[in-house]
Amino acid sequence: MFADNGYKTYNLHPKYTAQLEFLRNLEHDFDGSIDFWTDPNILGRSVDIMIPPHLQSSLEDLFRQHGIDYSIGLEDVQDAIEKAPSTAAVFDYNKYNTFDNIVTWMTDFASANSDIVTEFNVGVTFEGRNIKGIKIGENQGSSKKAVYYEGGIHAREWISPATVINIARSLVDDYRTGNADVKEMLETFDYYIVPVLNADGYAHTYANGGDRLWRKNRNSDVPGRCTGVDLNRNWPYQWEAANGVSDNSCGITYRGPTSGSELEIQAITNFLVDEQREWVGFIDFHAYSQLVLSPWSYSKVASLPADSDVMVDAGTKAATALKAVYNTEYTVGPSARTLYAASGCSEDWGYAVLGAQYSYVVELRPTGDPPGFLLPEDEIEPSGIETYELVKSFGLTYLGR
Please report the pLDDT score of residue 339 as a whole number: 87
CB neighbourhood size of 197 (10 A): 28
Residues 6+ apart with CB under 8 A from 61: none
Residue 44 sits in the same domain as residue 112? no
Q: What is the CATH number of the domain that holds 74?
A: 3.30.70.340
Residue 105 sits in the same domain as residue 136? yes
Question: Confidence class of residue 89 from pLDDT cuts 50, 70 and 90?
Answer: confident
**219 inside domain:** no
Give the whole-number percent of the chain exceeding pLDDT 70.
99
**242 inside domain:** no
**CA–CA dist 373, 369 (Å, integer):** 8
At residue 307's C-alpha, the angle toward residues 306 and 311, to 5°, is 150
Instruction: Give the mean pLDDT of 192-204.
Output: 99
Question: Is the predicted pLDDT of residue 190 greater than 50, yes or no?
Answer: yes
Please report the pLDDT score of residue 83 as a whole number: 87
What SS3 state is found at 202?
helix
Residue 54 sits in the same domain as residue 118? no
Please report the pLDDT score of residue 172 as a whole number: 99
Please report the pLDDT score of residue 286 as a whole number: 99
Please report the pLDDT score of residue 32 as a whole number: 84
Question: Is the predicted pLDDT of residue 211 greater than 80, yes or no?
Answer: yes
Cβ(343)–Cβ(298) below 8 Å:
yes
**233 inside domain:** no
Question: Confidence class of residue 1 from pLDDT cuts 50, 70 and 90?
Answer: very low
Residue 138 sits in the same domain as residue 201? yes
**CA–CA dist 225, 203 (Å, integer):** 22
Q: Among the three residues 28, 55, 83, which one is the final residue of a domain in this structure?
A: 83
Residues 6+ apart with CB under 8 A from 218: 125, 126, 127, 200, 201, 204, 227, 228
Please report the pLDDT score of residue 14 as a whole number: 96
pLDDT tens, residue by residue, 275-314: 999 999 999 999 999 999 999 999 999 999 999 999 999 9
CB neighbourhood size of 141 (10 A): 8
Instruction: Give the mean pLDDT of 243-258.
Output: 96
CA proximity to 85, closest of 101, 97, 103, 73: 97
Poorest-pLDDT segment among 38-42, 170-174, 322-326, 397-401: 38-42
**Residue 371: is the preceding peptide bond cis (ω within 30°)?**
yes
**236 inside domain:** no
**73 inside domain:** yes
**CA–CA dist 174, 139 (Å, integer):** 17
Question: Confidence class of residue 3 from pLDDT cuts 50, 70 and 90?
Answer: very low
pLDDT tens, residue by residue, 96-129: 999 999 999 999 999 999 999 999 999 999 999 9
**CA–CA dist 245, 188 (Å, integer):** 38
Residue 266 sits in the same domain as residue 293? yes
**Residue 288: is the preceding peptide bond cis (ω within 30°)?**
yes
Active site residue 363: yes
Mean pLDDT of the residues in the chain: 96
HSE-CB of 89 using CA atoms within 13 angstroms: 0
**93 inside domain:** no
**128 inside domain:** yes
Question: Is the predicted pLDDT of residue 41 greater than 60, yes or no?
Answer: yes
Please report the pLDDT score of residue 4 as a whole number: 56
Catalytic, out of 363, 381, 386, 389: 363
Q: Among the three residues 52, 83, 114, which one is the final residue of a domain in this structure?
A: 83
Which range marks the domain in which residue 286 is found?
99-205+255-399
Question: Confidence class of residue 84 from pLDDT cuts 50, 70 and 90?
Answer: confident
**DSSP string spanning 122-143?**
EEE-TTS-EEEEEEE-TT--TT
Question: Is the predicted pLDDT of residue 2 greater than 90, yes or no?
Answer: no
Residue 69 sits in the same domain as residue 113? no
Residue 33 sits in the same domain as residue 175? no
Q: How many domains does the chain have?
A: 2
Residue 121 sits in the same domain as residue 25? no
Residue 184 sits in the same domain as residue 308? yes
Burial class (CB in 10 A: 0-12, 13-18, 19+), 300: middle
What SS3 state is found at 240?
helix
Torsion of CA 52, 155, 85, 384, to 10 degrees: 130
**19 inside domain:** yes
Q: What is the CATH number of the domain that holds 362?
A: 3.40.630.10
Residue 56 sits in the same domain as residue 129? no
Residue 124 sits in the same domain as residue 199? yes
Residue 312 sits in the same domain as residue 354? yes
Q: Among the three residues 83, 115, 140, which one is the final residue of a domain in this structure?
A: 83
Instruction: Give the mean pLDDT of 65-71.
Output: 98
